[in-house]
Structure 1
Amino acid sequence: ELTAKLGKDTTTWSWGRLHQLMLKNQTLGKEGPGVLQYMLNRGPWNLGGGEAAVDATGWNAASGDYGVTWVPSMRMVVNLKDFDKSKWINLTGASGHAYSAHYSDQTEKWAKGELLDWSFTGKAVDGSTVDTLKLTP
């Protein structure tokens, strides 16, 4: 099976080439027209890990492939002594708009196991703010 899927050269074999994450939009990215699936979905990302790993990722072994079927949607490390030194990462991004630069801008870092600074205090938030959205009546 591995030779059929990954080739005869075992030095090129990689779990991530089989264990890939596809982000599929829950509204129209699964069953919608092909053009909408293309616009809304992202991936694939080659992942490591498995169900018993710290950065757990799962798949359905009975399905006949090794595609990722579940992952943690967010990871965080909280520094209880100094909340401003806490870190976190979201699976996708900060926007639900498919053409926003922030739709899936955290996924590559998430897949690599990286974390982002998580500002907590007002001073830290002000110091790290890049964009502000102001809603007025």
Structure 2
Amino acid sequence: MIKISASASIPLLTAVAVTGLLISSPVLAQSGTQMSAMLDRADRNADGRVTWGEFTAVRSDMFDRMDRNNDGYVDRADRPRIIGDRFDQAYRALSSLDANGDRRVSRAELRDGPADAFEAADANGDRVLTADELAAVRPSR
């Protein structure tokens, strides 16, 4: 765990993996191990599948952790001093969801933004990643 404030901590793998799933399918190839860890965490009821609801809950959790000043936006004002580089990496990835170009990402922009990686993994388009679909995006060992 990496401490980012007195009241919040964030596992690095989850931050990087969630960021990858938020943005686009090319990230799948770049961070397969992190994405796999994130998908395992997203399976909240441990049934071996990740539903769209479980996925969006993980996105919301990430937003809550990154919005350190609780103003409803993730922007440079949320950047921690000590581990700012990791925040910067996640923020750069999130910035593609900034639909109105105001250099901050609102909860609505995150909620309504594209989830290309999830959709790419969802081979049959039913908004549920099955065990087979998850296996297809996991890195080979």
- Identify whether the pair has TM-score above 0.5, normalized to the shorter chain: no
Structure number with greater Rg is: 1
Higher relative contact order (CA 8 A, sep 6+): 2
The TM-score, its normalising length taken from structure 2, stands at 0.24
More helix by share: 2
The TM-score, its normalising length taken from structure 1, stands at 0.24
